[in-house]
Structure 1
Amino acid sequence: MTQSSSEPDYVLARNRMVDGQVRPLQVSDARIIKAMREMPRERFVPAGCAALAYADRPVALGSGRVLMEPRIIARMLQTAVPRAGERALVVAAGTGYAAALLSRLGLRVIALEQDPQLAKEGRGVCAELAPAVRFEHGTLADGWPAGAPYELILIDGAVRALPPAMAGQLAAGGRLAAVLCPQGRVGTAVLAEASNGGLRGRPQFDAATPLIPELLAGPAFEF
């Protein structure tokens, strides 16, 4: 069927997003670029917000939560070096966009969401677009030990500090990617690994994105 001139061309919007926002930010992993060109991001935002899905900004999902900016999630994924067949946990998965991308990259993904409405919406959209994603409803700070250990944990948003429970859920050599934004400091994407019972990581790039309300409290993080 020919597309009406009044209907948005989301395929064009996805390609513009990748070419204008993602690739200029040093994202060169062809797998990630392909997944972002194909995954209909507009399906992961509330009704009436589809036109905002491809803007270079976070999109409000409700309950103080957002869909992270395309360029930030893309570069976080590239930094984490996801490998097909790995077990991954997405913490604060929201409506499941990042989880769906990881699934498209061939990972076995558990999406953890604390907000019951977001979990319901994410479970529904992933059932159609990324059926291998397993949505779980639970407290974000606790992680999801039933599925551990994970080769990759992705926190889908910014935190003041990394939840200590995540250290015990990483596999040997596993890594955790998140945006860390300590009080009074600029947000920084970090890649962390378990070390001496805690988490130790390296800053990767500056990243300003909204904090996850459910994960505002936490201990200090050590670089």
Structure 2
Amino acid sequence: MTDFAMRRTMMVDTQVRPSDVTKFPIIDALLSVPREDYVPDAKREAAYMGENIALDGGRVVLEPRTLAKMLDAVDIQRDEMVLDLGCGLGYSSAVIARIADFVVAVEEDQAMAADAQANLSEHGADNVAVIAGPLVEGNAKNGPYDVVLVQGAVEVVPPAITDQLKDGGRICCIFAEGMLGTVKVGYKIDGNVVWRHSFSAGAPLIDGFQKPREFVL
């Protein structure tokens, strides 16, 4: 029988801590959430490898290092509300739920949203609401949010998303740039978002977050 708890500890010790992620709430959350329960059944054995895990529709569960460094960069506080865009089968939301006050998880794939809700409920993550709907629309109804995370790569962030961020809030995305992406954190100051480079990481581009294509005659 696979010792997933041992693999979880090894994941933190070999992938997360060496990447300078040392905040206790993040380490504790990664050690507590069973990643193997939030990936497709056929990929449970690969749950703790240092790579993105493919889901349907070109989406992924971000590699542990990337998610951990994104969480470190936005520094979620215990009393904050987080919008998790593209939650997949619920892993990122389960981790965030152990750090934040409440998580609104948006997933546009209806089947994945249902599975995410089932997974989160099974593990008692009762401070997460899974919403099935377009990722590019976010979820204004439950906003505004202290923090927004996008679980995949983007070329642009629609104003509809940044409008849902509180003034003083943070948003973290992987911007697709060539072969490897750049993770940037946006800080909303006086209604405008100022982006700062954080680290390099890669993920597939999420549909709907592409730049408009220019047509040349």
The answer to whether TM tops 0.5 is yes
Match of 2:199 among 175, 196, 205: 205
CA shift, 1:170, in A, is: 0.7
Residue 53 (1) aligns with residue 38 (2) = no
- Verify the 8 A CA contact 1:164 1:198 in the aligned structure 2: no
Match of 2:188 among 194, 197, 216: 194
**Closer/same/farther in 2, CA of residues 214 and 121 from structure 1, 3 Å limit:** farther
Residue 144 (1) aligns with residue 139 (2) = yes
- Verify the 8 A CA contact 2:81 2:100 in the aligned structure 1: no
Alignment match, 1:70: 64
Rounded Cα–Cα distance in structure 2 between residues aligned with 1:209 and 1:63: 13
**Closer/same/farther in 2, CA of residues 208 and 85 from structure 1, 3 Å limit:** same
Alignment match, 1:170: 165
- Verify the 8 A CA contact 2:167 2:191 in the aligned structure 1: no
CA shift, 1:197, in A, is: 5.5
Residue 106 (1) aligns with residue 95 (2) = no
Aligned-partner residue type, residue 203 of structure 1: H
Match of 2:152 among 157, 163, 170: 157
- After superposition, the C-alpha distances for 1:96-153 in whole angstroms (9 at most, x for unaligned) are 1111111111321000011111101101101122122100011111110001110001
Q: Specify the SS of the correspondent of 1:215.
A: coil
- After superposition, the C-alpha distances for 1:194-216 in whole angstroms (9 at most, x for unaligned) are 35765331010111222223433
Alignment match, 2:28: 34
Q: Which runs of 5+ in 1 are unaligned?
A: 1-6
Aligned-partner residue type, residue 101 of structure 2: L
How many residue pairs were aligned?
Answer: 212
- Verify the 8 A CA contact 1:167 1:193 in the aligned structure 2: no
Rounded Cα–Cα distance in structure 2 between residues aligned with 1:94 and 1:215: 16
Q: Specify the SS of the correspondent of 1:63.
A: helix
CA shift, 1:8, in A, is: 0.5
Q: Specify the SS of the correspondent of 2:93.
A: helix
- After superposition, the C-alpha distances for 1:168-199 in whole angstroms (9 at most, x for unaligned) are 111110110111114x3631111102357653
Rounded Cα–Cα distance in structure 2 between residues aligned with 1:51 and 1:165: 38
Percent identity between the two aligned chains = 34
Show the 5 A alignment for 1:103-142: 103-129=97-123, 130-142=125-137
Q: Specify the SS of the correspondent of 1:213.
A: coil
CA RMSD, 1 decimal: 1.7
Rounded Cα–Cα distance in structure 1 between residues aligned with 2:68 and 2:179: 23
- After superposition, the C-alpha distances for 1:9-61 in whole angstroms (9 at most, x for unaligned) are 00000001000111111111111011101100000001121001100111111
Rounded Cα–Cα distance in structure 1 between residues aligned with 2:108 and 2:212: 17
Q: Specify the SS of the correspondent of 2:68.
A: helix
Alignment match, 1:4: none
Aligned-partner residue type, residue 49 of structure 1: K
